Every structure is written in C-alpha cells, then in structure tokens.
A and B are shown apart, each in its own frame.
Chain A
Amino acid sequence: MKNILFLLFLILILQSGLKAQVAVIVNKSVPQDTIKKTELLDFFTGDIKEWPDGKPVIVKELKAKSKVREAFYDYIGKNPSRMKSIWLKKMLSGEGDPPESITDDTAMVKKIETTPGAIGFVAKDKVSDGVKVLLFIQKD
C-alpha cells in the first residue's frame, strides 16, 4: 500500500513538473504593464505593429518545438502551422515580416533585453530582471 501511495505521489509530482508555465516578456521600453489575449494575437499575427506610443512592435518566437511554445500558441488559439501560413501570407503580400526565431529561452531573454519594442515568450523560470513580464500563462 505504501508503495502505491508513493507511486501516486511521484506521478503527481512529475505531472506538476510537466505543466508548462510561460512568461510573456517585453523590453523595458514597452509602455504597458499588462497584455490581453486579443492584443497578443494581434501582435503575433502582425495585425497590429505598433505599441500605444507608436513605436514598432518587434515579435520574437522560439524556434524549437517545446512545451512552452505549444502552451503559448494554445493560449492564443493558433497552431504553429496556421501561424506559419499567416506569416508567409504577410511576407508574400509585402505586409510584414515573419518574427525572428530564437534558438532557446536564454537567447530569447537576452534578445528581448537588448531590442527596444521587442516581445517574446519563455519558460517562467528563465525570466531575468532585465525584461518586463506582461503575463504568465499556465497550461494544465
């Protein structure tokens, strides 16, 4: 019985570890402290390209498939292949450029820190003091 309880406990611990916790981060120059889901969608689909102060929004995304990436796109309601199709359409219509793909969370944090107007997403535990967090997303 003790063994079974221990096993259940272990499964619960492991499951909580698998939850993807995502932080939506921006460069400190960005003139807002929170963000709505619809705004995120507008920025990542390229519909809106300016912050409220008129400065350009520079979108960055994670290159590799990961739980963080999956959780982020789940949250905004688009799968990666649909996003790719939206960005390609913007590019071939001359209406926008696809976001730069960043190799990993650490590189993403550095990029956001050093790029005015930048917005991206990383695992919650990778956030540094050099960026501003607008939103936490937790995927069960």
Chain B
Amino acid sequence: MNKIHAILILSLISTPKLFAQHDNSSLKIFGYFQSLASYETALNTFQGNDQPTKTSFSLQQLNIFFQKDITDKWRALVNVEFVNNFSSSRKWGSVDLDEAWIRYRANAYFNLKLGLLVPVFNNLNEIKNKTPLLPYIIRPIAYETSFENFIPVDEFLPSSTFVQIYGFLGVDKLKFDYAFFAGNTSNINTNPEFGQTGVDTTAALLFGGRVGLRANELKFGISFTKDNLNGNSELQRELALFPSISLHEVPRIRLGSDLSYYTDKFSFESEIIRVAYDDDINGAGFNKYFYYTTFGYRFHERFFAYFTYWNLFSDLTDFAINENQLILTKGESDMRIPGFGLTYNLNERTVLKAQFATIAIDTKIKSLGISQEANFNYYALAASVYF
C-alpha cells in the first residue's frame, strides 16, 4: 500500500493542468483509483465452501496515465494499472501495462493506433477499466478484470491488440462508426509449468472489429473477432489423457452486439457476446455466452440509480472417475446476476457508489447426474476518484 500511496502522491504533485485542449508542450500525468468495501454472504454454496461470509476492503484498481501530444496529429499514451492492493512483496494483486500506444489522427474519419491498445469491441471493452466512467463497482461479470481468477475475461474479450484503424463517417445526425484491429491472441495461461505465458505468439493472428450506427445518443453496433486458442494450461495437460482432444490452434470466433440510448434522465445499455470454438473438439465444450442490460435514471444532477441484469452461460469440460476409469465430462454452468446500484457525485472528481447483486450459479453435468446450485448476495460501497 505504501508504494501505491507514494506513486499517487508523486502523480498529484506533478499533475499539470488537465483541462487544456491542445496544450501539447508538456507531459500530462493523470489517473484514477477505486476503493472498495464489500460484504458477501453465501445463501447456498457448493460442497466444500467453508466460508459463508466474506468482508473485504481493497484498493480495487489504480491507473496512472502518461500522455504526450507530440504534434497536432500524433499523440502517445501509456496506462499502467494496479489491481487488488498490488504489493510485490506480499504477492497481492497485479500490475499491468494496460496501454502503450501512439495515435495518428488524420481527421475524424481516419485514426491509426499502434502499440499495445485495448480494441473497440461492443460498448464496454475499451472503457471496462475506466472506473470513474462506470456506475458499477463490480462490472458486468465478463468485464470484471479483478475476478480474472475465476471469470475468464480474456476468453470473452479481446483484451489487447497492436494495431487499430478507426473513425466515423457521416453527415449531420447519422454517423457510421468503424474500427478494425489486429494483434495476437490473449494467452490464458499464467503458469510457466504448463507452457508459454504472456502474449501467445504461436497462435494465428487475432483480427476483428466493430461497425455501428450512431444517431445522437442512440448507438448500435456489431463486433467480431477471429483467432485461434492455444490452451497451454493445466486442462491441456490433463487432456493429454484423451488423445482425440487437442487444444492447439482451435479456431475461435467472438460475436458481439451492443445497443445504448441516453436521454437527459434515462439511459439504457445492453450487450451480447457469443464465444464459439470449433465444433471438432471431440467431447469437450468451451463455448460461452454473455448478456447484460442496464436501465438507469438520473433523478438529480448528482444522483444516478440503475437496475442491471447479467447472464453468463458456459460449457464446462472436466474430469471424473467413474467405475475406476477417468472419464471426460461435459456440462454447463449458468450464472444469473440481477442487481441495482446508486452513484452520487460528491464533487467534480469523486463519485461514491453503492451496489447490490444477487448471484445464482447452476452447474449441471447430465452424464453423471450432477446438478449443483449456489447463491450469493453481494453488497459493495466504493469511492472512485480521478486526478
């Protein structure tokens, strides 16, 4: 925590004036953080869960940006992200180089970004980590990077790419947005024991994009990516017992669609993501589906309330011993999360947030006659500050 405080204080001391368009003479340093207090209570848990309630205080996220306008046309930006009370000495949390790119802006119709960047995909991918922009404390679950240990965010989303062209075409009120990007597949493996970690340079190119229409505050878009999965993971090693299944270079397609609308008081946003793997993975299943929708109402300049519903459905592949034989099991998991929340703009740069969610997870493996259900309630308070 001391390191984070030191970085924060240094940033505050050296922060130049933020609100200055085309002040390209200086390096701009800015950022934000979100502090969180949460309470989780398990109403009904899977077998073996001996922790029915959890209370947690954490610095959920801290991001620091370094931005420099090199000329009127070229801009460079670096975004470093610290997650979950990062401390290297205590082995808590993580630190990521989230973005490091240079952008060429010809005009509104054509922009080019080169370097490590978060690509445009549906509504939220590009801004999923920008906590001051979001009313949520816990983001729609496929986007919740601080839960990466048990929600495979990298499978749902293209978390980073290395080149992107984007812009919009249009006249007056109607605009046609486009973005096309390319890079490497995100590597889901974090354990060197099971193969390569980091960027997966063995897989084929990842490419994708989003095309959409915008009429003032009504926005609609379709997103896609195409890449191959290299399952360098513990699961891959276990799958070696089943020669018919290989997780090398498995073709994967993500399809997404987003719709949003804002008025003075009312807002609506919704997304669907479908992750489909090649059907030829004999006996194993990894397909995924995610959906969220949020209705919001601003009943005062400072107060905003919302209701949200998330659904994450995924195929499960696991192993079981049946009559002294190791067998592959294929099942499914269905996670449903309705919730609501409130935000209050304390001042120009501080947003206070409250959120409640009730989580229901059904897991079924028909071949073994297994059906488990778990329910949790989740309460959270947070402060999101940008500086």
Q: Report which A residues bind B (CB closer than 8 A).
A: 36, 38, 41-42, 47-50, 54, 56, 58-59, 77, 79-82, 85, 88-89, 91-94, 96-101
Chain B 75-104 per-residue mask, 1 if CB under 8 angstroms from chain A, else 0: 101010000000000000000000101010
Given contacts A58-B21, A97-B21, contact A92 B108 (CB under 8 A): no
Query: What number of B residues sit within 8 Å (CB to CB) of A?
Result: 36
Q: How far is the CB of B155 from chain A (nearest CB, A)?
A: 24
B1 in the interface, Cβ–Cβ < 8 Å?
Answer: no
Give min CB distance, A26 to chain B, whole Å: 14
B21, A99: Cβ atoms under 8 Å?
yes
Q: Is B330 an interface residue (CB 8 A)?
A: no
User: Please, how many angstroms separate the alpha-carbon atoms of A48 and B262 in the complex?
Assistant: 20
Residue in A56, A88, A89, A101 whose CB lies within 8 Å of B22: A56
- Complex Cα–Cα for A91 and B19 (A): 9
Complex CA gap A39/B165 in Å reads: 24
CB distance from A16 to the nearest CB of B (A): 26
Query: Is chain A's binding surface mostly helix, strand, loop or mixed?
Result: mixed
Do A79 and B108 touch (CB < 8 A)? no
Chain A: minimal CB distance from B73 (Å) = 10
Decide: B19 and A47 in contact? CB cutoff 8 A.
Answer: no
For the complex, give the distance between the alpha carbons of A36 and B173 in Å. 11
- Contact at B108–A82, with CB atoms within 8 Å? no
Measured in the bound complex, the distance between the Cα atoms of B262 and A77 in whole Å is: 11
CB closest residue in chain B, given A89: B133
- Please judge, given known A-B contacts A50-B108, A77-B216, A92-B133, whether A97 and B264 are in contact too, CB under 8 Å: no
Counting CB contacts under 8 A, is B364 at the interface? no
Residue of A nearest to B32 (CB): A92
List 12 additional contacts besides A48-B108, A88-B386, A94-B65; criterion CB under 8 Å: A49-B108, A54-B107, A56-B72, A77-B216, A80-B301, A82-B262, A85-B133, A91-B18, A93-B130, A97-B20, A97-B23, A99-B19
Q: Is B172 an interface residue (CB 8 A)?
A: yes
Residues of B contacting A54 with CB < 8 Å? 107
Enumerate chain B residues within 8 angstroms of A77, measured Cβ to Cβ: 216
Residues of B within 8 Å of A85, CB to CB, are 133
Note all chain A residues with C-beta closer than 8 A to B221.
none
Contact A92 B21 (CB under 8 A): no
A36, A89, A93: residue with the most chain B Cβ atoms closer than 10 Å: A93
Known contacts A88-B132, A92-B386, A93-B130; is A100 also within 8 Å of B72 by CB? no
